[in-house]
Structure 1
């Protein structure tokens, strides 16, 4: 820019037009004002919502009640600026700055149409899911500004809003140096303009429980071995008056758990059998038993996993992580139920003591098992645990584990596979999953698959069928042989244990911790209907 010090009138040539300027002010660079009060304004963020129906020809956008209230407080600035941009649809957001003297950043997230409700075809409460998406996207977008507090409106359901915001702002960064530029400080999440604090706390606890499972799944396998997992269980649960018993390989041998021993002895890390007990009801009340597959690293043994899959095998203890998180949540919520959690922990590594193709082992109920594929190890651990669980005369048994890769090609990341011998339990599990957005899908438990695993010449049953297809129902049919007459649910979570960040906007790339929230909700609904 040219500067004229002595002229009274000058002309600047811009393009082809002459623009007279009566006062020429010498150029000075803009100075930044460091005012502590102004800086403090940028320490808070706010997440609000907007409904948008693109099928309405007239004004299709409506601010939520909390957003309208805030808009009045800032003299209509929010609505004026929002109309200058395309109205965010479901899965989109806009960020505005310094609209008032309290919040430096305001994220307005789209909720879609205002009339979303339960969709029977989708088996999903779409209204709650839209709230999770909006709260999650808004909170995550504001997190990059590193505010100390993010206030989130309830969007009509404080529990769902807390779930979405808490899940989306979590990130595994335990092993990053504190000075790393990639460290994202954890902002405190608070409810805005609503008095449903109980709903908010419950939603936050469910999401934090899922985040705990994600944390354990993300832990490096050289650090989270069976001993370290057992120690974490003691540290987290004993302070909540949950009993934790850690049993060694010798104890398993005395209970004739041949499958667990065959897998556990493959590694230099000693296998451990961890049992956790929460007593929230009368001691005479029959418990529910939760069993979680706890293979802290799964190499496939002598049937090695493909190289591209090995990086995910640190999360093969997802079932055990979920059971630990569910039991902890039940204790914090003080649910009136007794829970026995069984966590068979071990590593599966190649070596001279690894299970081989064609080995025959004896299970805890005396049945002999032909190991057709050593890489199908999880079902051997669960089988022995199902037999052991019968000692507690449970109301029902639920086992969770990453069992079959083929579910990635059938269900994708939409839902985990559910197998059960109880119609009532499935109905409650399905209803719970439709409320949490973490759905389940019932798979067949037919005699067809039992015949495939019983088609074995050298033992009573085999750990999989003779061909490579139908492995997930084959696994369920195998486990059914050890259930006896108990009511039983089996969740195969291989396909939902990891996400690339494309399945749910509030779950970013990495381990997912699913289906922790669904099981907590299922137990709550069973209690609410006096079924436990």
Structure 2
């Protein structure tokens, strides 16, 4: 999709379709009012007949209105104007794209970007329009032998986004570039997440990282099993023992900041399939365990977005990747393994494996002397029970870092919610036979997962994002969401801006 920004009133635009908002109670937005006036009240007549009430998500396509050079007008319901917030704005954009896909229009001009969203400027509205549009157009049908042409109709090729002031044009272009970069990172994460485990193996994940590096000037290093053995990564390697697929430790280095500047480190869990090992999972919905590498996918997506925006910041991405399968050589409950840090772990449940591969990666990343470290993992089902699929769980040993991530989540509507990381929770990880156990009972499961990782992050500022509830959807809309790529990218954008340098 090609995007551009333009200043001008709707009645003068020659377009395949004008997109305007209508609030509940048939109240016209400013752009809809202007169209109504020039067409002799044609829009108002349609509303009075009851064909459109302005309900949120409701759409109505009008053709060849008098005195209007544009071929079509799409009315998009926005709900009550006082309740029109960030979520409703994105829903309105998605509804508009859904309707436009069913038309023959190749170009549309959207005036939804002029709607008032409390606390959000035109930059925010344009960037979110691009992101929401690309998300609405996303399809994953690479593995289908026959494409459904009706569902993949893509007449729409160009979207013009309206701004009320010419002074907003330059800012709008920057918002488009950022929106496309973030949407590209989200698409990469969704594509990787949606691939089945027989295709997206640790080796495949490493190959995609190398390809990303070649395209975006990112240095990529892939550590093999022998390298990990030399480093003493006993926790990570213990998880991989039950699989025929060799594990990989993937390291990406994006150097957009000053030489010697401490990097931001992103560490993503890359379990390309998790059957639970000897502590095997129930058969129902086990296919969704291909999504257990969505933390890794989000790191790749965020690094891709940062590189395309050309953020003036240094970023290191570390992805520990393996499978977790039952086998005669797999971890057994009661086994004790030694992590890279030298700490020993009693493996009471082999399905609590994400923290085992992450702890070695979190130790490894310390060699980069990072400014901060954020790990991203589909870590616990307990987080899904606590927060559902609306917010990612957040734990941190730095309140300032937690606030940065929370604020980035609010701005991108890719929200997180902070959980406590009190010392009292550490007692649940006590073991009679090792330095710690890898589980701590049913209580506070999401917090205990973070508490385990906290033992490996005492030397730097660290935050943990549990994305088990947000990384994918189940049911009819099953598929990867690409979250939290928007949150992570905005976090990096804010960090770069804090250094006093604006992104290109």
TM-fit CA distance, 1:199: 1.7
The answer to whether the 8 A contact 2:346-2:434 is kept is: yes
TM-fit CA distance, 1:468: 2.5
> Paired residue for 1:479?
453
Q: Give, in whole Å, the separation in 1 of the partners of 2:328 and 2:64.
A: 66
The answer to whether the 8 A contact 1:176-1:183 is kept is: no
Could you tell me which of 94, 98, 108 is aligned with 1:136? 94
TM-fit CA distance, 1:161: 1.6
Q: How does 1:402-417 map to 2 (within 5 A)?
A: 402-417=378-393
TM-fit CA distance, 1:174: 1.3
The answer to whether the 8 A contact 1:45-1:150 is kept is: yes
TM-fit CA distance, 1:70: 4.5
TM-fit CA distance, 1:173: 1.4
Structure 2 residue matching 1:431: 3-state secondary structure? helix
Could you tell me which of 471, 476, 481 is aligned with 1:497? 471
> Paired residue for 2:202?
226
For structure 1, list consecutive stretches of 5 or more residues without a partner in the other structure: 1-42, 55-59, 117-125, 503-507
Structure 1 pair 102/315, CA: closer, same or farther in 2 (3 Å)? Answer: farther
Deviates more, 1:276-285 or 1:172-181: 172-181
TM-fit CA distance, 1:147: 4.8
In the alignment, is residue 51 of structure 1 matched against residue 28 of structure 2? no
TM-fit CA distance, 1:68: 3.8
Q: Give, in whole Å, the separation in 2 of the partners of 1:140 and 1:164.
A: 11
Q: Give, in whole Å, the separation in 2 of the partners of 1:351 and 1:328.
A: 36
Could you tell me which of 57, 65, 77 is aligned with 1:91? 57
Which has the larger Rg? Answer: 1
TM-fit CA distance, 1:522: 1.6
The answer to whether the 8 A contact 1:48-1:109 is kept is: yes
How many residue pairs were aligned? 467
> Paired residue for 1:522?
491
Structure 1 pair 302/501, CA: closer, same or farther in 2 (3 Å)? Answer: closer
For structure 2, list consecutive stretches of 5 or more residues without a partner in the other structure: 1-14, 115-124, 164-168
Structure 1 pair 154/457, CA: closer, same or farther in 2 (3 Å)? Answer: same
Could you tell me which of 69, 72, 78 is aligned with 1:111? 78
Deviates more, 1:486-495 or 1:309-318: 309-318
TM-fit CA distance, 1:469: 2.9
Structure 1 pair 79/232, CA: closer, same or farther in 2 (3 Å)? Answer: farther
Structure 2 residue matching 1:307: 3-state secondary structure? coil
Structure 1 pair 397/283, CA: closer, same or farther in 2 (3 Å)? Answer: same
> Paired residue for 2:313?
337
Deviates more, 1:89-98 or 1:265-274: 89-98
TM-score between the two structures when normalised by the length of structure 1: 0.82
The answer to whether the 8 A contact 2:108-2:158 is kept is: yes
TM-fit CA distance, 1:142: 2.3
Could you tell me which of 257, 271, 274 is aligned with 2:247? 271
Could you tell me which of 451, 454, 470 is aligned with 2:444? 470
Normalized per residue, which structure has more helix?
A: 2
Q: Give, in whole Å, the separation in 2 of the partners of 1:401 and 1:188.
A: 36
TM-fit CA distance, 1:64: 3.8
Structure 1 residue matching 2:196: 3-state secondary structure? coil
Q: Give, in whole Å, the separation in 1 of the partners of 2:500 and 2:442.
A: 39
Q: After superposition, give the CA deviation of every residue in 1:233-266 in whole Å (9 maximum; x if it has no partner).
A: 2222321110111110000111101111111222
Structure 1 pair 436/472, CA: closer, same or farther in 2 (3 Å)? Answer: same
Q: After superposition, give the CA deviation of every residue in 1:15-65 in whole Å (9 maximum; x if it has no partner).
A: xxxxxxxxxxxxxxxxxxxxxxxxxxxx9454322233x5xxxxx612243
Q: After superposition, give the CA deviation of every residue in 1:177-210 in whole Å (9 maximum; x if it has no partner).
A: 3553454134435223334232233223323322
The answer to whether the 8 A contact 1:47-1:139 is kept is: no
Query: Alignment RMSD, CA only?
Result: 2.4
Q: After superposition, give the CA deviation of every residue in 1:272-299 in whole Å (9 maximum; x if it has no partner).
A: 1110010001121010110000011111
TM-fit CA distance, 1:114: 3.4
The answer to whether the 8 A contact 2:265-2:365 is kept is: yes
Q: Give, in whole Å, the separation in 2 of the partners of 1:102 and 1:275.
A: 54
Structure 1 residue matching 2:362: 3-state secondary structure? helix
Structure 1 residue matching 2:21: 3-state secondary structure? strand
> Paired residue for 1:166?
134
Q: How does 1:416-495 map to 2 (within 5 A)?
A: 416-453=392-429, 455-465=430-440, 467-495=441-469
Q: Give, in whole Å, the separation in 2 of the partners of 1:380 and 1:102.
A: 63
Structure 2 residue matching 1:316: 3-state secondary structure? helix
Q: How does 1:345-356 map to 2 (within 5 A)?
A: 345-356=321-332
Structure 1 residue matching 2:189: 3-state secondary structure? helix
Q: Give, in whole Å, the separation in 1 of the partners of 2:395 and 2:102.
A: 41
